[in-house]
Amino acid sequence: MNTHIALLRGINVGGNNALPMKELVVILEDLGARHVRTYIQSGNAVFQATETNCSRISRDLATEIKRRHGFAPHLFFLDLEALDAAIANNPYSEAEAVPGSLHLGFLASVPSSPDLVKLDGIRKASERFHLDDNLFYLHAPEGVGRSRLAASAEKLLGVPMTVRNWRTACKLRELAGE
């Protein structure tokens, strides 16, 4: 069995695209996943499956959510090695003490022409970011709610992204190890 981490983007936000995690578990199990565990209501699941093709799992999951709930969220899949690398390569290890200030943006692909100059120009003096292939690290000590950098990152990177804070990334790793 292979361990997979699914990150669903844009569900259960502001009453839109409602998908209770219990229902996500059922859908994944109906698709053959085993040992499904979820974390908080924002669309995080860790599971095992014999299927190794993340694209196939993603397509099947999106199709089933669409069929059962009427919307197809953008899905991001990681294997255990990718999550381990994301955690190990964190360039802001000193920020781990305040896990709500450190964010990992998982990108759908490696950006071909990210506008890093513009990103740097809109960041607050306290904010830092680092692009590492298909991962965008953001340290925002004042929070992301009013951060122009956080709000503009996906557009300026030019690829779809879903963001998780450090606490969530570490919890997913913990769940994957169980």
Each residue's pLDDT tens digit, 96-137: 999 999 999 999 999 999 999 999 999 999 999 999 999 999
Are 31 and 77 in contact, with CB atoms under 8 Å apart? Answer: no
Which CATH topology does 2-82 take? Alpha-Beta Plaits (3.30.70)
pLDDT at 13: 66
The per-residue pLDDT for range 141-158, each reduced to its tens digit, is 999 998 999 999 999 999
Q: How confident is the model at residue 10 (pLDDT cuts 50, 70, 90)?
A: confident
Please tell me the pTM assigned to this model.
0.93
- What is the C-alpha separation between 151 and 101, in angstroms, rounded? 15
Out of 7-16, 22-31, 44-53, 102-111, pick the least confident: 7-16
Residues 6+ away with beta carbon under 8 Å from 65: 19, 24, 27, 71, 72, 73
| CA-wise closest residue to 63 among 55, 71, 51 | 71
Average model confidence (pLDDT) for the chain?
A: 94
Reply yes or no on whether the pLDDT at 168 is more than 90. Answer: yes
Q: Tell me how crowded residue 68 is: count the other CB atoms within 10 A of its CB.
A: 13
pLDDT at 14: 65
Instruction: Give the DSSP per-residue string, 75-128.
Output: EEEEEHHHHHHHHHT-TTGGGGGSGGGEEEEEESS--SS--HHHHHHHS-TT-E
pLDDT at 75: 94
What percent of the chain has a predicted confidence (pLDDT) above 70? 99
